[in-house]
Amino acid sequence: MKLLALGAAAVALALLPGTASADELPTFDFTDCPAPPSNADPGTWRCEAFVSQGKLTIGDQAIPLGEMRLTFSEGRVNGQYAQVFGALEHEPVRVPGLAGTTLQLRYGGYSDFQGNDERRGELDIYAVLRHPLLRKECSIGTAAAPLHTVVHDDPALPPTVLSKNPPTFHFGVVDPDLALPATQDCGPLGKLVDRKLGLPSRSEFHQTTYVQYKQL
């Protein structure tokens, strides 16, 4: 998981007064920035590179998701807002309580990072589970039936301008009501995994995100 960091920095971020200093910034990678469509309005497109630290909370159990990286491009086509997804990168992380098991988030085929007054953005993801005794298809959600996360601003970490050149921001997002189904295609141990993780269940998904823009 474009689990994900998630949501584009809305225009309101650029209007925040002043800047905040950042002692240490992550290295932003624009390699996976998608090119604007052929009919894009010239000069309106930029790529956004996100570097996030995530956490998934199921009941009283927290699963640190480690670093997630996401890129997408946005701009105008015939005067209308448009966006193109780039890539979601997430290294497998260990699952507490399930020795030898890892979890890796993958892109589920849908994203909308045009923030508004109701939410920061939306993203479809699914989680691949790996263990020598689990089937290789074992997952929470699938590419065909992904998890749909809707992230909102986290009041504990409001948007902060770190740099105006290049434009760089820091903020937090949260999905307080992410629905997690039972595991799928895990084999005979699937029920054990569900019991250990408390699935199916509602969960909370948090991200602490840095984002930087690059004009295309």
Residue 185: partners with Cβ closer than 8 Å, 6 or more residues away: 135, 137, 138, 139
Map residue 12 onto helix, strand or coil: helix
**Residue 16 pLDDT greater than 50, yes or no:** no
Given this model, what pLDDT does residue 23 score? 61
Query: Where is 195: in which H helix or E strand?
Result: helix 190-197
Distance CA 1, CA 59 (A): 19
In degrees and rounded to multiples of 5, residue 60 shows phi and psi of -100, 15
Alpha carbon distances (Å) from 57 to 109, 189, 213: 23, 22, 30
* 75 within 8 A of 82, measured Cβ to Cβ: yes
Distance CA 164, CA 19 (A): 8
Average pLDDT estimate for 55-70: 94
**Residue 15 pLDDT greater than 70, yes or no:** no
Given this model, what pLDDT does residue 14 score? 37
Instruction: Provide the Cα torsion 57, 176, 20, 43; round to 10°.
Output: 120
Q: At residue 139, what is the residue type?
A: S
Given this model, what pLDDT does residue 20 score? 45
Number of alpha helices (DSSP H) and beta strands (DSSP E) in the chain: 2, 11
**Residue 61 pLDDT greater than 60, yes or no:** yes
**Residue 1 pLDDT greater than 60, yes or no:** no
**Residue 32 pLDDT greater than 90, yes or no:** yes
**Residue 57 pLDDT greater than 80, yes or no:** yes
pLDDT digits (tens, 9 = 90+) for 83-141: 999 999 999 999 999 999 999 999 999 999 998 888 899 999 999 999 999 999 999 99
Q: Smallest Cα–Cα separation from 162: which of 2, 26, 7, 4?
A: 26
Burial of 60 (C-beta count, 10 Å sphere; 0-12/13-18/19+): exposed
Percent of the chain scored above 70 by pLDDT?
Answer: 89
**Residue 6 pLDDT greater than 80, yes or no:** no
Pairing of strands 167-180, 147-153: antiparallel
Question: C-alpha 50: how far from its chain's center?
Answer: 8
* 175 within 8 A of 207, measured Cβ to Cβ: no
At 60, is the pLDDT very low, low, confident or very high (cuts 50, 70, 90)?
Answer: confident
Higher pLDDT, 5 or 25: 25
